[in-house]
């Protein structure tokens, strides 16, 4: 977590005169632009030692900046605000402000401000204990931080936080490299006595099992902290590290001594994480000493404190997840608007180019006619015959051109209409289903009104309202499907996200089954699932993979239904869905015992517009679209089929190993 940076206290004292001068400027009759810059400088001064004042002056800087709207001041003010909110553990507010600042940085395109923002965002995510995002923001800034650490105290501090990020992620070799960079930087800048760096080195050595070097570094850190009045918190952390190291060395008495030193510290209740680790260690120490009463006491204290931390973190995690989802939605909407704008521009350019091409062709054609006319005038004996041939050729060319244009229009219209008919059936099934349910509920309302049972009428009305909302939802979904049909030939713009593939498959299986049931009351088929629960989450675009699964399920149910209608009850239709993790990949299999597919057309099954269904019942776009989606995910889709016995579609997707950690 971010804490007061050691060494800043001396710097801030030296800058007290500058602070007084800046505050004096605010009382004078100065332009708002000067006042905005002054309040921002004051906010910088308070940033790490007075959160409330830093927040107050950053907001004042935004107020004074309204008149002339300097983007640099807005970005720096918002940056100070989200750093302060992070220090105050106001996670949701900090993330909202961070996204606001990021939009400004992206629009302003200033390299130095972007670097300042990225490093500040790294500090924020460190305070929110999101260490991977913290590292991502730090390393996105240029020049490389490790190259400037030796000349700049601020970057030395950032290297220390990077080392802490790696330590928290248990990437100890990287943490050790940056800890040594910090010590080298401090030797040159001499703006910090090295307490934090030595303590961090000691904890890294302890985790790596190098206990004697760990003791040396932690003793050094404790000695430096005890000789600096403003480093009480570092003394607590160093004592905890010594207690953990002595415990690892099986020196129980020394470990107990430093644990008690931590528990008796005056500010221990302000550092919940250190207190929890100390209580947990005391529990183990007294258990080793066979002191049952004390072991039970510290076990209870540990559990109580851990529960309180877990509940607080759980609430914040939910809030952050909701906020990040909102931000992703906004980003997708912005991307969609940007894409629509670009499409309009490209369409206008294309129209202009077509117009210019037509003009060029007409001019060229006119010149050729003039030359031909001059030639005809010279050759009078061939005039009539050549004129007739030219006119006939021109008429045939125009007729061919009209036919080609009409065929292209009809092909596009046919593809769109067929795609909509193929994809829109499910939401329409839901609309029809809920409409029929509402009709039955309205009849029940009349019956209950006749009985005078108003309470039951209210309950039924609530159900009707709920069903109407679902009808509205699926109507909008049908509208979205119509708008999305033209995306078949384009690369998906969806954003990949960690997704539970088992839950996704089960959801779309139910959607396919009940959709067909709503369409055809006589339809009935059995299905079973065999999901590998060890798969966890994989990185996919859930809407696209859901479309693939829905198409495969619909096809499977269709073929078993067709076979059942032909065999007149002597056949039990079955659709099986399995998932399995194999060698770093996720395998999804959809198997049916339907009619199967002849071997001579298996190789054509993924071609656009190829279908085995009767005319009017299939467009041939479903499996082609599925093939494109799986390929876009870097996966494979295969078909195995035996005519008369059934078919099996196999999807193989690569699993992102980082999601297992």
DSSP string, 425-474: HHHHHHHHHHHHHHHHHHHHHHHHHHHT-HHHHHHHHHHHHHHHHHHHHH
Residue 578 has pLDDT above 90, yes or no: yes
In this structure, of 58-67, 198-207, 651-660, the range with the lowest mean pLDDT score is: 651-660
Are 198 and 218 a contacting pair, CB within 8 Å?
Answer: yes
Q: Is the model's pLDDT at 635 over the cut of 70?
A: yes
Q: Which residue has the higher pLDDT, 172 or 67?
A: 172
Confidence (pLDDT) at 529:
92
CA distance 155 to 134: 15
Please write down the HEC assignment for all residues of 303-353.
Answer: HHHHHHHHHHHHHHHHHHHHHHHHHHHHHHHHHHHHHHHHHHHHHHHHHHH
pLDDT band at 487 (very low <50, low <70, confident <90, very high): very low
At residue 591, the pLDDT reads 95
Residue 379 burial (C-beta neighbours within 10 Å; 0-12, 13-18, 19+): exposed
Determine the length of the chain: 661
Q: What is the dihedral of CA 356, 360, 363, 365, to 10 degrees?
A: -130
In the chain, CATH 3.30.565.10 sits at: 497-660
Q: Find out whether 551 and 505 touch, Cβ atoms under 8 Å.
A: no
Residue 433 tokens read as 């289903």
- Which residues neighbour 78 within 8 Å (Cβ) at sequence distance 6 or greater? 58, 62, 97, 100, 101, 104
CATH class of residue range 497-660: alpha beta
Of 315, 324, 332, whose CA–CA distance to 95 is shortest? Answer: 324
pLDDT band of residue 204 (cuts 50, 70, 90) is very high
- How far, rounded to the nearest angstrom, does the alpha carbon of residue 636 sit from its chain's CA centroid? 24
pLDDT at 6 over 60: no
Asked which of 5-19, 239-253, 367-381 is least confident by mean pLDDT, the reply is 5-19
User: Which of the four pLDDT bands, split at 50, 70 and 90, describes residue 152?
Assistant: low
Strand partners, 543: none
Q: Quick check: 577 and 529 in contact, CB under 8 A? A: yes
Q: Who has greater pLDDT, 494 or 5?
A: 494
Q: In the chain, what is the straight-line distance between the N-terminal and C-terminal CA atoms, in Å?
A: 21
Q: Where in the chain is the domain with CATH 1.25.40.10?
A: 1-141
Residue the block writes with tokens 């959801």: 507
Q: Output the pLDDT for position 459.
A: 86
Q: What is the pLDDT of residue 460?
A: 85
Q: What is the residue-averaged pLDDT of the chain?
A: 79
pLDDT at 11: 45
3-state SS assignment for residue 649: strand
- Give the helix ranges, DSSP H, for 65-210: 71-87, 91-108, 111-127, 131-140, 145-148, 153-168, 172-189, 195-207
Q: Give the residue-averaged pLDDT of 554-574.
A: 84
pLDDT band at residue 523 using 50, 70 and 90 as cut-offs: confident
* Over residues 318-332, mean pLDDT: 59
Give me the pLDDT at residue 636, please: 93
pLDDT bucket at 331, cuts 50 / 70 / 90: low
Q: Could you tell me the pLDDT band of residue 206, with boundaries at 50, 70 and 90?
A: very high
The side-by-side arrangement of strands in the sheet containing 526-530 is 526-530, 574-582, 585-592, 646-654, 636-642
Look at residue 576 in the predicted model and tell me its pLDDT.
95
pLDDT at residue 41 tops 90 = no
Stretch 649-657: mean pLDDT: 82
Half-sphere exposure of residue 152: CA atoms within 13 angstroms, side-chain side: 11
Token output for 556: 């499977």
- Of 117-126, 491-500, 630-639, give the lowest mean pLDDT range: 491-500
Are 274 and 237 within 8 A, CB to CB? yes
In the predicted model, what is the mean pLDDT of residues 404-408? Answer: 41
> Is residue 616 very low, low, confident or very high in pLDDT (cuts 50, 70, 90)?
low
**pLDDT bracket for residue 649 (50, 70, 90):** very high
Residue 477: pLDDT band (50, 70, 90) is confident
Whether the predicted pLDDT of 470 surpasses 70: yes
Tokens of 200: 């961090």
**Cα–Cα distances in Å, from 148 out to 125, 144, 197, 618?**
22, 7, 17, 64
CA within 13 Å, CB half, 334 = 7
Is the pLDDT at 193 greater than 70? The verdict is no
Residue 214 contacts residue 240 (beta carbons within 8 Å): no
Task: Classify domain 1-141 at the CATH superfamily level.
Answer: Tetratricopeptide repeat domain (1.25.40.10)
- What is residue 452's predicted lDDT score, i.e. its pLDDT? 82
210 pLDDT band, cuts 50/70/90, is very high
Query: Phi then psi for 487, rounded to 5 degrees?
Result: -80, -5
């Amino acid at each position: 977590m971010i804490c007061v940076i050691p060494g800043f206290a001396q710097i801030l004292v030296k800058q007290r005169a500058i602070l007084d001068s800046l505050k004096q400027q605010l009382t004078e009759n100065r332009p708002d632009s000067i006042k905005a810059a002054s309040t921002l400088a004051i906010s910088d001064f308070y940033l790490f030692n007075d959160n409330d004042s830093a927040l107050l002056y950053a907001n004042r800087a935004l107020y004074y900046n309204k008149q002339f709207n300097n983007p640099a001041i807005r970005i720096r003010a918002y940056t100070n605000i989200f750093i302060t909110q992070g220090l105050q553990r106001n996670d949701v507010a900090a993330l909202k402000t961070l996204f606001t600042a990021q939009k400004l940085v992206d629009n302003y395109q200033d390299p130095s401000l972007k670097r300042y923002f990225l490093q500040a965002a790294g500090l924020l995510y460190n305070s929110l204990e999101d260490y991977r995002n913290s590292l991502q923001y730090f390393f996105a800034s240029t020049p490389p931080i490790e190259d400037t650490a030796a000349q700049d105290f601020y970057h030395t501090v950032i290297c220390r936080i990077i080392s802490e990020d790696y330590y928290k992620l248990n990437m100890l070799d990287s943490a050790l490299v940056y800890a040594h960079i910090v010590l080298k930087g401090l030797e040159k800048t001499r703006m910090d006595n090295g307490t934090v760096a030595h303590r961090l080195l000691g904890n890294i050595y302890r985790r790596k099992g190098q206990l004697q070097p760990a003791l040396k570094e932690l003793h050094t850190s404790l000695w430096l902290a005890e000789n600096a009045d403003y480093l009480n918190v570092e003394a607590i952390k160093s004592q905890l590290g010594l207690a953990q190291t002595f415990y690892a060395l099986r020196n129980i008495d020394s470990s107990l001594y430093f644990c008690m030193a931590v528990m008796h510290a005056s500010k221990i209740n302000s550092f919940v994480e250190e207190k929890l680790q100390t209580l947990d260690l005391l529990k183990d120490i007294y258990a080793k000493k066979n002191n049952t009463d004390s072991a039970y006491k510290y076990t209870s204290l540990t559990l109580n404190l851990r529960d309180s931390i877990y509940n607080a973190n759980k609430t914040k995690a939910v809030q952050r997840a909701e906020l990040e989802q909102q931000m992703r939605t906004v980003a997708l909407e912005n991307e969609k608007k940007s894409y629509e704008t670009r499409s309009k521009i490209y369409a206008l350019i294309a129209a202009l180019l077509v117009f210019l091409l037509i003009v060029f062709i007409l001019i060229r054609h006119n010149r050729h006619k003039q030359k031909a006319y001059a030639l005809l005038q010279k050759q009078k004996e061939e005039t009539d015959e050549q004129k007739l041939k030219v006119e006939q050729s021109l008429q045939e060319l125009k007729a061919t051109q009209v036919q080609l244009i009409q065929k292209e229009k009809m092909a596009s219209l046919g593809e769109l209409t067929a795609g909509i008919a193929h994809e829109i059936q499910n939401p329409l099934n839901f609309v029809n289903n809920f409409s029929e349910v509402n009709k039955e509920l309205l009849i029940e309302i009349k019956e209950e009104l006749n009985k005078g049972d108003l309470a039951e009428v209210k309950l039924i009305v609530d159900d009707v309202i709920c069903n109407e909302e679902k009808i509205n939802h699926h109507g909008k979904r049908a509208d979205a499907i119509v708008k999305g049909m033209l995306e078949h030939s384009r690369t998906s713009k969806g954003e990949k996200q960690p997704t539970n593939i088992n839950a996704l498959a089960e959801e779309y299986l139910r959607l396919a089954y009940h959709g067909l049931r709503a369409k055809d009351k006589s339809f009935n088929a059995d299905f079973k699932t065999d999901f590998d629960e060890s798969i966890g989450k994989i990185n996919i675009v859930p809407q696209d993979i859901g479309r693939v699964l829905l198409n495969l399920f619909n096809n499977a149910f269709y073929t078993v239904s067709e076979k059942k209608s032909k065999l007149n009850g002597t056949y039990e239709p079955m659709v099986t869905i399995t998932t399995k993790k194999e060698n770093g990949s996720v395998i999804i299999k959809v198997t049916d015992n339907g009619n199967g597919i002849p071997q001579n057309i298996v190789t054509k099954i993924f071609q656009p517009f190829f279908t085995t269904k009767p005319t009017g019942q299939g467009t041939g776009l479903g499996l082609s679209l599925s093939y494109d989606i799986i390929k876009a995910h870097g996966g494979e889709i295969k078909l195995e089929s035996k005519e008369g016995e059934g078919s099996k579609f196999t999807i193989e997707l690569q699993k992102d190993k980082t999601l297992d950690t």
